[in-house]
Amino acid sequence: MNNPRKFRDLLKSEDLIVSPGVYDGYSIRLVEAAGFKTACTSGAALSNALLGVADIGVMGLTENVNHCRNLARSVSIPLTADADTGYGNPVNVFHTVQMFEEAGVAGVNLEDQVSPKRCGHMPGKDVVSLAEMVKKIEAACLARRNDDFVIIARTDSLAIEGIEGAVKRARAYAAAGADMLFPDAVLSEEDIQRLVDAAGIPVSINMGFGIRVRPTTPLIPLPRLKALGVKRVSLPRMLPAAAIRSMQQALQVMKEVIASGQPADRPDLLVGIEDIMKLMGYEQMRALESRLTQLDPEPSQNA
pLDDT digits (tens, 9 = 90+) for 95-112: 999 999 999 999 999 999
Predicted confidence at residue 303, as pLDDT, reads: 54
Question: What's the rounded mean pLDDT across residues 151-175?
Answer: 96
Residue-wise DSSP of 84-152? TT-SSSHHHHHHHHHHHHHTT-SEEEEE-B-SS---TTSTT--B--HHHHHHHHHHHHHH-SSTTSEEE
pLDDT digits (tens, 9 = 90+) for 148-160: 999 999 999 999 9
Residue 123 in this model has a pLDDT that exceeds 90: no
Residue 1 in this model has a pLDDT that exceeds 60: no
Nearest to 31 by CA among 221, 23, 189: 23
Its sign, for the CA torsion 206, 211, 215, 221, is positive
Strand partners, 180: 152
When pLDDT is cut at 50, 70 and 90, the band that residue 125 belongs to is confident
Whole-prediction pTM value?
Answer: 0.92
Into which CATH architecture does domain 3-243 fall? Alpha-Beta Barrel (3.20)
| Average pLDDT across the chain, whole number | 94
Residue 142 in this model has a pLDDT that exceeds 80: yes
Predicted confidence at residue 298, as pLDDT, reads: 73
When pLDDT is cut at 50, 70 and 90, the band that residue 185 belongs to is confident
Question: What's the rounded mean pLDDT across residues 14-31?
Answer: 97
Nearest to 235 by CA among 40, 43, 53, 79: 40
- Residue 165: strand, helix, or coil: helix
Predicted confidence at residue 300, as pLDDT, reads: 65
Strand partners, 110: 153
pLDDT digits (tens, 9 = 90+) for 231-260: 999 999 999 999 999 999 999 999 999 999
pLDDT digits (tens, 9 = 90+) for 32-59: 999 999 999 999 999 999 999 988 889 9
Predicted confidence at residue 3, as pLDDT, reads: 95
Tell me which amino acid residue 196 is.
V
C-alpha atoms less than 13 angstroms from C-alpha of 191 in its C-beta half-sphere? 22
Predicted confidence at residue 302, as pLDDT, reads: 64
For the chain, what are the domain ranges?
A: 3-243, 264-294
Residue 214 in this model has a pLDDT that exceeds 80: yes
Residue 60 in this model has a pLDDT that exceeds 80: yes
